[in-house]
Amino acid sequence: MALEVVLGIDIGGTFTKIGLVDRSGSIHFEDEISTRGYETIEEFIKALHKHVMQSLEQLESSFLLLGIGVGAPNGNYYEGTIENAPNLAWKGRIEFVKLMEGQFHLPILVTNDANAAALGEMLFGDAGDLKNFVMITLGTGLGSGLVVNGDIIYGHDGFAGELGHVLVYDHGRQCGCGKRGCLEAYVSATGIKRTVYELMAEENIESDFRKIPFSKLKPKMITALAESGDPIAIKAFERTGYLLGRALADTVAHISPSRIFIFGGLAKAGKWIIDPTKKSMEEHLLPIYRNKIDIVPSALLKKNIAVLGAAALIWKRLDKKSGNV
């Protein structure tokens, strides 16, 4: 008997990851193809379809594919579109779901990567018993998925929850979105790198960072130097956590979550990012909210949450139809 699975697809600026996911969250097949090198979105989708079909034919086990969930930058759940994604080659409004359905002839849903991560945590991680929580993704940028009463908040147009683009400083750093002073410009893998080099300009103290070019610096290197006691690394995490905690205090006032999960490369810093974030959030919270909300790493931090979250889009829809939610 064929095992029922969903195809999870995560579209990134460089690579697109795919995986077959069953209802328990087990991934039975994983692969990736390049996102780049296709002049049109139609060419990319045709190549993706060909790759998926060839991969399914080569698998020894028998699978029944129920649908496809897609996490993509600026993915719009309501409209089935990808709109003006800054790190994709195809600009404007892309009728993504329609184009995918034309190739795959299966139910297809799309949302942004942070919302997908929140769904993945809900179905396959530590948020299964939670109705109100926040997922923060800390990668090249900062994404957020907001869950209230068991459902993702999409807003009237499908784009709610862009915490990375709230203003933290007037006339601040240039953000990738074109604005200045966005949270993402400070709290992200790129943001903390910028903070490291600002601190080196401000502080006349010894640091191993002075030997590392900006282009070579990775978040895990900042964590390693913090572990070794480097003062610049420690201050960089303190500044980053302060700003993230302050922004999360505002989010708490809006939706009152019971837990906040963080995921992504910067989240792997563990206590170095979580402790100053928690401290700052508590300092900025209204007293009625204090000491009620945990900030924890995602349970899926070491798993392919991008693929699991994308697949969760379809599994959650199927659960609703069957009355299992």
Q: Is the pLDDT confidence value at 299 over 80?
A: yes
The whole domain housing 92 covers 3-120+303-322
Per-residue pLDDT band for 291 (boundaries 50, 70, 90) equals very high
| Domain annotation covers residue 22 | yes
> 140 and 242 share a domain?
yes
> 67 and 142 share a domain?
no
> 201 and 112 share a domain?
no
> 104 and 250 share a domain?
no
> 147 and 166 share a domain?
yes
Q: How far apart are CA 67 and CA 44, in angstroms?
A: 19
> 176 and 310 share a domain?
no
Residue 78's pLDDT is 94
> 282 and 158 share a domain?
yes
| Domain annotation covers residue 125 | no
| Domain annotation covers residue 126 | no
Q: Range with the lowest mean pLDDT among 210-214, 227-231, 233-237?
A: 210-214
> 282 and 228 share a domain?
yes
| Domain annotation covers residue 234 | yes
Percent of the chain with pLDDT over 90: 79
- Could you report how far apart the first and last alpha carbons of the chain are, in Å? 26
pLDDT in tens, 133-180: 999 999 888 999 999 999 999 999 988 999 999 999 999 999 988 899
Domain count, the chain: 2
| Domain annotation covers residue 15 | yes
Task: CATH number of the domain at 235, please.
Answer: 3.30.420.40
Q: Is the pLDDT confidence value at 40 over 90?
A: yes
> 268 and 166 share a domain?
yes
Encode the chain in three state secondary structure.
CCEEEEEEEEECCCEEEEEEECCCCCEEEEEEEECCCCCCHHHHHHHHHHHHHHHHHHCCCCEEEEEEEEECCCEECCCCEEECCCCCCCCCEECHHHHHHHHHCCCEEEECHHHHHHHHHHHHCCCCCCCCEEEEEECCCEEEEEEECCEECCCCCCCCCCHHHCECCCCCCECCCCCECEHHHCCCHHHHHHHHHHHHHHCCCCCHHHHCCHHHCCHHHHHHHHHCCCHHHHHHHHHHHHHHHHHHHHHHHHHCCCEEEEECHHHHHCHHHHHHHHHHHHHHCCHHHCCCCEEEECCCCCCCHHHHHHHHHHHHHHHHHHCCC
> 157 and 30 share a domain?
no
Residue 325's pLDDT is 58
| Domain annotation covers residue 104 | yes
Q: Is the pLDDT confidence value at 324 over 70?
A: no
| Domain annotation covers residue 49 | yes
pLDDT in tens, 243-269: 999 999 999 999 999 999 999 889 999
pLDDT in tens, 16-25: 999 999 999 9
| Domain annotation covers residue 29 | yes
> 317 and 227 share a domain?
no
> 90 and 148 share a domain?
no
The structure's pTM equals 0.90
